[in-house]
A and B are shown apart, each in its own frame.
Chain A
Amino acid sequence: MWDGGNAKRYLGKGGGNVKEEANVETGLIEALDARREYKYGFTTDIESDVFAKGLSEDVVRAISAKKEEPDWLLQFRLEAYRKWIKMPQPDWAQLRIEPIDFNDISYYSSPKSKKKLGSLEDVPQEIRDTFDKLGISLQEQKRISNVAVDAVFDSVSVATTHKRRLLEAGVIFCSISEAVKEYPELVKKYLGSVVPPGDNFYAALNSAVFSDGSFVYVPPNTIPPMELSTYFRINTEGTGQFERTLIICAEKSQVSYIEGCTAPQFDTNQLHAAIVELVAMDDASIKYSTVQNWYPGDPETGKGGIYNFVVKRGKCAGRNSKISWTQIETGSAITWKYPSCILQGDGSTGEFYSVALTTGRQQADTGTKMIHIGKNTRSLIIAKGIAADRASNAYRGLVKMLPGASGARNYTQCDSLLIGDKSSAHTFPYIEVANPTAQVEHEASTSKINEEQLFYLQQRGVSREQAISAVINGFCKEVFNHLPMEFSVEARKLLALKLENSVA
């Protein structure tokens, strides 16, 4: 347990760095190449309206025009763009990033359709088939009835299911483009209120060029009749995906929102730079879950894959509000994100549950920021990092207690599991405490997948693959338990599948 003084001393070193290289008996690890397949690597052949590569003020204006946006939003974009061109690319993460040529990216790609996109009935067959193949049915009657889905394909939302049923309960769930047209006051009030356009390099980029994403508004005293979700699919090579999600949960309301993502297998890196903003009013609760499975690149050469550089931040604006992030990060060549909570309302709670799995040549630098502003605010961080093959995995987290955060508490637990002798794990905790009554607790561990555990299970008749999966699932249990039931099952399967080839 740290008091303020200890924390400051700790911080004086600029955050800790626990680095351990795995060293497991060579018998444990054998890279198997045969079945290293990314299930979602296919491309959909559909004619698309793709902007020429390159970024300029004209491109920003063109995106805005394409979306028939009001002038205030164009100005919002332009202001962000002007900030962005003056900003340097950040390089502080524990990541090796190939230089990104921002003029070699197309900033808008939309499937061509005779009819207007966004209506459930008029989704082109190819896209319907694509989502079917991904296990996401856009037919409302076939959908698992307790999940509504907004399907985003490249730069546009192609359909949102169960809109009507949700609206009957007063819940708005639609693409952000539609929200700009239908609910401009809400969007204008909250867009950029949690992540300002000039917040950081990628936030500024997204604010300038974001093309679509999801919008949720839950009115006071309401619990939506189903879970809400968005499925992001990148399809076209050479494009970036810059989506924007905004969720507002009013007084005494609750919402559970889930996002999933996949992309085809290309040799070139693709940039995914999203912003997610959450706002929770008095006694409101937002649960945001992510299962991220973007194409990770070639496991041997590291070629291709998604750069997943995302800014996710929630504001607990009201008293006793709560925001809970759960993320299962298994894909992407590079994952660089810190879903965070600004705990402004007195008695508000922020949670972060994370599993980050890196295999092959994947890299992850992920964690959270818990900013305690209000009195008696609470935060809980449970982060599990797993690195196999030649992958690296870093946890980076900031817990900040401001002067007004009397009686605030934080507990952080971050555990790393290493598989093989070429993987690495790092932990960078930053703790800043400016209130003497605030308490911060941090626990960290690094371990190797243990041959004795596997042998113990095998001696009971369990196959080696099943034993590995059981040990990993046990390691991640506290996080999986916070996912909605069916996604928890999916996440377990996904992890087992990804690790199948890493532990021979």
Chain B
Amino acid sequence: MLEIKDLWVALNGTQILKGVSLTVGRGEIHSVMGPNGSGKSTLSRALAGHPSLEIISGSILFDGKNLLEMAAEERARAGLFLAYQYPVEIPGLGNSEFLRMAYNAKRVAEGKEELDAMEFEDILDEKMGLLGMDSKFRERGVNEGFSGGEKKKNEILQMAVLDPKLAILDEIDSGLDIDALKVVAEGVNSLMTKDKSLILITHYQRLLDYIRPDYVHVLSDGRIVKSGGPELAHSLEAEGYDAISAGAVR
């Protein structure tokens, strides 16, 4: 599904990622953990194609395609989805209008007909029901005045509507209380099938109690310094990032 090889990425002239390699297979859930400043968010933004990042070297294959040659919107239409740590507000743009715009962009890319507002409503109803979301989310501006929890839920709603092959959840747990975290995690779990892949970017092990990863990677100073199974997250929690990173270097 995703194959990152020796990826070097800079932001404003500062080297952030220093040779990241990561392979995510179909149906797999990977967790990338690491302390603040380790490059977690840069990795997710590089995958999504943020224009401010400079790709120095390396390669990324997504579903057999060269991701680095694709614009952000092409990556999205090919089935790559990034749930934001800080979802952006777009005042005045209705949430359902936005969702339909995104949904139709994907349909057109797949050679299908666009859906009109009425047809799309049915899809939206179903997905919102699935996530137990209030219908007020429909007409409000995209993330406009949403609470932290509502914004995260709205990210998962977008994921549900767009049905990506690979979703990258960037600190989806940050700013959520335990109840909201459960709802978001259940939502994500309900969307996962055996041919969908997931990358969970997180600082804390807490999220992994609700979404069980198959693999855990530790990112430190722009490199993956350790990889393992779910048990690695637990030892991280017990020993801290410093010990794990130091151990890896030793």
Contact = CB atoms under 8 A, between A and B. Distances in A.
Contact of A478 (B73, B92, B109, B158): B92
Interface string A453-483: 1011111111110100011011111100000
A461 B98 contact: no
Interface string B136-172: 0000011000000000000000100010000000000
B92 A456 contact: no
Given A462-B73, A462-B101, A475 B109 contact: no
A466 B52 contact: no
B93 interface: yes
Contact of B73 (A450, A452, A463, A475): A463
B223 interface: no
B87 A461 contact: no
Contact of A453 (B49, B50, B72, B90): B90
Give the size range of B's interface with the partner: 20 to 34
A458 B91 contact: no
A25 interface: yes
Given A460-B162, A461-B109, A461-B162, A471 B90 contact: yes
B160 to A, nearest CB: 13
| Residue of B48, B71, B72, B106 contacting most chain A CB atoms (<10 Å) | B72
Contacts of B51: 27, 451, 455
B88 to A, nearest CB: 4
A466 B101 contact: yes
B101 A470 contact: yes
B131 interface: no
Contact of B84 (A451, A456, A464): A456
B162 to A, nearest CB: 7
Interface of B is mostly: mixed
Interface string A407-427: 000000000000000000000
Contacts, number: 81
B1 interface: no
Contacts of A25: 52
Contacts of B244: none
Interface of B: 48-52, 71-73, 75-77, 81-82, 84, 87-93, 98, 101-102, 105-106, 109, 141-142, 158, 162
Interface of A: 25, 27, 450-453, 455-464, 466, 470-471, 473-478
The 8 A-B pairs at the shortest CB distance, nearest first, are namely A474-B92, A477-B92, A474-B93, A460-B102, A461-B76, A461-B105, A456-B88, A458-B72
21 contacts: A452-B88, A453-B90, A455-B48, A455-B50, A455-B51, A455-B72, A457-B98, A457-B101, A458-B71, A458-B73, A459-B49, A462-B73, A464-B73, A466-B105, A470-B90, A470-B98, A471-B93, A473-B92, A474-B92, A475-B92, A476-B92
